[in-house]
């Protein structure tokens, strides 16, 4: 399953994967990896991608041979299925985030029973996006079932500020208004005769507003403004 989320101006492509269980033949497992390959290939390399899933495999406690994709903080011994996952992650330039942070065992083990304690669920992301991830670990208190535990990835996404252009917006220097300036402004408006118009109300207001702008600009002065900046500045 794949979904898209728009967060802080970013579009996140999220894939949820579920590996075939033990006991199924190798052909079924091969189809799974082929389908997952096609799904990942369908997402542009410039887009953000996160994959979470029950891969039912063991990548081992150390990165041994996979330093660029395994963070070195795994659990248990590596087995065949774990190598397949590591090869897949390497092929698509991903990284296993829940092997990238030093943590206690209870924050690492995703499958916990009376007989087995192991790491078989994984969260993956692109290497180019790993700086967004601030932490990735199991939350022991949140049990989704009697066996699997909740694995959480913390992402820090900064909302992009939309830049807007400000084109030298001239502003009347209202702070320059003094008692003397006010008298001068009143006299000037009287001589302009804006209120003596015989047109309809809308036209009279347009003429009056224009006279006020011209008079205040001449008496108080106009600032040059500035260009550039961000929305909200």
Complete DSSP assignment for 169-221: --EE-GGG--HHHHHHHHHHHHHHTGGG--S-HHHHHHHHHHHHHHHHHHHH-
101 pLDDT higher than 60: yes
3-state secondary structure of 151: strand
Helix ranges (H only) for 71-157 are: 80-91
Q: How confident is the model at residue 39 (pLDDT cuts 50, 70, 90)?
A: very high
How far, in Å, CA of 60 to CA of 17, rounded? 20
Give the phi and the psi of residue 162 in degrees, each rounded to 5.
-75, 125
Separation of alpha carbons 135 and 55, rounded Å: 20
The domains of the chain, with CATH numbers, are 2-155 (3.60.10.10), 171-223 (no CATH)
* Rounded Cα–Cα distance for residues 57 and 65 (Å): 17
What is the rounded CA–CA span in Å between residue 3 and residue 50? 10
What is the per-residue pLDDT for 167? 59
Least confident segment among 49-53, 80-84, 117-121: 80-84
What pLDDT is recorded for position 124?
A: 97
**Could you tell me the pTM of the whole model?**
0.66
Q: Kindly tell me if the per-residue pLDDT of 1 is higher than 70.
A: yes
- Top pLDDT among 230 and 126 is at 126
Averaged pLDDT for residues 172-198 = 78
Residues 171-196, mean pLDDT to the nearest whole number: 79
Q: Tell whether the model's pLDDT for residue 102 goes beyond 60.
A: yes
**Look-up: residue for tokens 């030093």?**
102
């Amino acid at each position: 399953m794949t979904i898209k989320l728009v967060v802080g101006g970013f579009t996140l492509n999220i894939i949820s994967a579920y590996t075939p269980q033990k006991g199924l033949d190798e052909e079924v497992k091969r189809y799974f990896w082929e389908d997952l390959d096609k799904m990942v290939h369908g997402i542009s390399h410039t887009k953000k991608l996160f994959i979470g899933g029950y891969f039912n495999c063991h990548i081992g406690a150390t990165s041994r041979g996979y330093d660029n994709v395994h963070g070195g903080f795994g659990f248990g011994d590596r087995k065949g299925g774990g190598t397949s996952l590591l090869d897949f992650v390497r092929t698509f330039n991903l990284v296993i985030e829940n092997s990238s942070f030093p943590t206690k065992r209870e924050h690492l083990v995703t499958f916990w029973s009376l007989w087995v304690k192991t790491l078989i669920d994984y969260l993956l992301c692109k290497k180019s996006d790993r700086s967004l991830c601030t932490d990735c670990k199991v939350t022991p208190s949140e049990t989704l079932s009697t066996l699997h535990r909740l694995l959480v990835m913390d992402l820090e996404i900064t909302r992009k500020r939309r830049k807007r252009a400000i084109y030298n917006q001239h502003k009347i220097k209202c702070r320059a208004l003094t008692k003397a300036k006010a008298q001068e402004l009143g006299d000037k408006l009287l001589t302009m005769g804006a209120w003596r118009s015989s047109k309809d109300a809308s036209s009279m207001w347009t003429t009056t507003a224009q006279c006020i702008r011209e008079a205040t600009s001449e008496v108080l002065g106009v600032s040059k403004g500035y260009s550039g900046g961000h929305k909200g500045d």
